[in-house]
Amino acid sequence: MINFLKKSIRAKISAAIFFIALVPLAVMSVFLYFTSKDAMFRNVYKELTWNVNEASSQIDRLFHETGKDLVLASQNVAFKMYFFDKEHKDKWLGEQKKTLKHLRSIYPDMLDEACFIRADGQELSRIIFDKLADENELSSGEDRSHFFKEAFKVKEEEVFHGEPVISEDTGRWVLPAATPIVVNGKKAAILHFEVSMAHFQRLLKKIINPDRGYAFVINDKGEFLARTDMNIGENEPFPKAVSPDTPAGLAEIYKKIVAGGKGIDQFSFNGNDYYVSYRPVDAGFEDRLNENKWSIAYVLSSDRIYVEFSIIRYTILAMAVIILLVLILTYFVGEYVTKPVRELAHATGKVAAGEMPSFEVKSDDEIGQLSKAFRTMAEAVKRRDEALRGLAVTDGLTGIYNHRHFKDELEKAVKAARRFKRPLSLLMADIDFFKNYNDAHGHTYGDAALRKVAELFSKNLREVDIAARYGGEEFAMILPETGLKDALAAAERIRLRIKEEPFPFEEQQPNGDLTISIGAAELGEGVEPLEGAEPPQGAQPLQGATDAISLINAADKALYSAKENGRDIVWPKV
């Protein structure tokens, strides 16, 4: 009997269910029945805390993200160049409008208005919803408002958030924010936008399950700014939290919330108990940067708790009945279950050994589903390994090969070229004045330019060629089966293609275009200028490139010569 138990999974399953499952089940059922009520209340406190913290976090994140994007938008050169380059004001106004449209596109469901306002109160550009304002629609008296005056008190790259107001343009409640534009050390203007207060109502309703409870946002004046069980009008006065019908216990809780308190309290209304979790919204700003003092609260009725308690009680009875049925069917199920388990265990062993087994379980039950899931998992592991190998050789920014993979491939290409006595050329390319471009327009546009250049390299090379990011704005291209003459032709084609490609703000580059310089070298050949070409003044004759390192050095020196001879050229020059 003991040997039978040792060797039979079916017998072990039967013994486990008969002699082990029944006693723990009985003890667990009694324990669960008498402790589930307390557990429910502990879960209620967790639910209260989680909901109020999640809602507070979402609102806090909204303040941070909108403020961050407002500062980023204010750094667009169009806002400062409007004051510096007065001869081309129309051009910079056009660029300002593009930035305002971009801000609107980031927050299409919450940003009502954005505008650029001069220090004397004159609007220079504005967008309301998706409509840009004409010149005759711009206001000249914005400096009269309290918000405008306070916005000019904050420092550059700081954001001022004012209290909600009824917008004169949209006619509904908005939350204004602004950051100053500093020119020559003086605050010359502000970049300003308005977030619809209706967005906070929508945000709260997305977080809170209405079948469980309700939540609200309240300000320090005791007004509801958003509430999930109430429709707050977009242009009506915010409703007061405390009214003559408010229960005394709830009114006291409202006082704590408005005063910036934090905690969990209880009140009774119409014969039912309610639990309230509340805390202030941490907008993450100093008082001088944010006039808003909000709190968030979540309310849960006790009757929702006892409904779940009843469900647990009936669940325990159902579990007892199910176990009795399982005991009866154990013998018949054991054999049916253990056979596919053994097959699955055998397949698992093969996967552990690095194989990809082919097996099939014909049953459609859970074991069959597990087998299919296991097969899917094994295939996913294989795909993941392939993807990881790809990531190990790919540059994260440009998507082409990285420096390490380039070095490995160049070593292979050099060995193959020398062994079979076949030509091999290397191109080294560098974006001209890229630091100027990056400093003027920021890393976002700089990274986009690097990706575009890398894409153009890939599209204009053969399948056998290898393009890689060598470092920074420098790229390398390995051209197997290619002599120097053909390599120079390919390099010239790529140079012209990139010169013709439009890039944002390229007209501000020293050359008037975003261009590249390319140096070329051939394995086994010197890098003297080709016949008819003039070497750069002071250049020294270079030795032949006989290995990967000297080939890189030769191409790099040719690139240096291209830079020295005016950029936007290929060197050696034909």
Domain 403-571: give its CATH code. 3.30.70.270
The yes-or-no verdict on residue 405 having pLDDT over 70 is yes
Q: pLDDT, tens digit, for every residue of 106-133? A: 999 899 999 999 999 999 999 999 999 9
473: annotated active-site residue:
yes
As given in the structure block, the two tokens for residue 436 are: 């100027």
Q: What is the pLDDT of residue 272?
A: 87
Stated pTM of the model: 0.50
Cα 455 from Cα 460, distance rounded (Å): 9
In this prediction, residue 312 has a pLDDT band, given cuts at 50, 70 and 90, of: low
- Fold matches, 75-196 and 199-305: yes
* Residue 173 in tokens: 């409640």
pLDDT at res. 94? 93
**Cα–Cα distances in angstroms (integers) from residue 379 to residues 16, 134, 349, 362, 406, in the given order:** 34, 59, 15, 19, 29
Using alpha carbons, select from 564, 499, 500 the residue that is nearest to residue 535. 564
pLDDT in tens, 264-277: 999 998 888 899 99
* For the chain, domain boundaries: 75-196, 199-305, 360-391, 403-571
Provide the CATH topology of domain 75-196. Beta-Lactamase (3.30.450)
Amino acid 375: pLDDT: 66
Q: Helices marked H in 8-120 — which ranges?
A: 9-15, 22-74, 77-84, 89-106
Q: Which of 276-290, 346-360, 471-485 has the highest mean pLDDT?
A: 471-485
| Mean predicted confidence (pLDDT) in 305-332 | 63
Give the mean pLDDT of 96-100: 93
Q: What percent of the chain has pLDDT over 90?
A: 56
Rounded to 10°, the helix 366-392/303-352 angle is: 70
- At 362-388, the pLDDT tens digits run 666 556 666 666 666 666 656 665 555
What's the one-letter identity of residue 311? I
Residue 7 CB neighbour total at 10 angstroms: 9
- Consecutive H or E run containing 452: helix 434-459
The tokens describing 351, both together, are 């996967």
The encoded tokens of residue 556 equal 């790099």
In the sheet with 466-471, reading across from the earlier edge strand, the strands are 466-471, 474-480, 424-431, 516-522, 570-571
502 preceded by cis ω (within 30°)?
A: no
Per annotation, catalytic residue among 47, 123, 194, 473: 473
The larger pLDDT score, comparing residue 438 to residue 331, is at 438
User: Residue 318: is its pLDDT beyond 80?
Assistant: no
Cβ-contact 114, 100 below 8 angstroms: yes
How sure is the predictor about 528, in pLDDT bands with cuts at 50, 70 and 90? very low
**Pairing outcome for strands 516-522 and 570-571:** parallel
- Both structure tokens of 220: 């320090």
Residue 61 has pLDDT above 80, yes or no: yes
Q: 479 - beta bridge partners?
A: 425
* Count, residues in the chain: 574
Distance CA 132, CA 115 (A): 10
Token couple for 231: 């429709």
pLDDT over threshold 60, residue 44? yes
User: At 533, is the pLDDT very low, low, confident or very high (cuts 50, 70, 90)?
Assistant: very low
What is residue 141's predicted lDDT score, i.e. its pLDDT? 82
Domain 199-305 listed as CATH 3.30.450.20: yes
The residue-averaged pLDDT of 239-253 equals 92
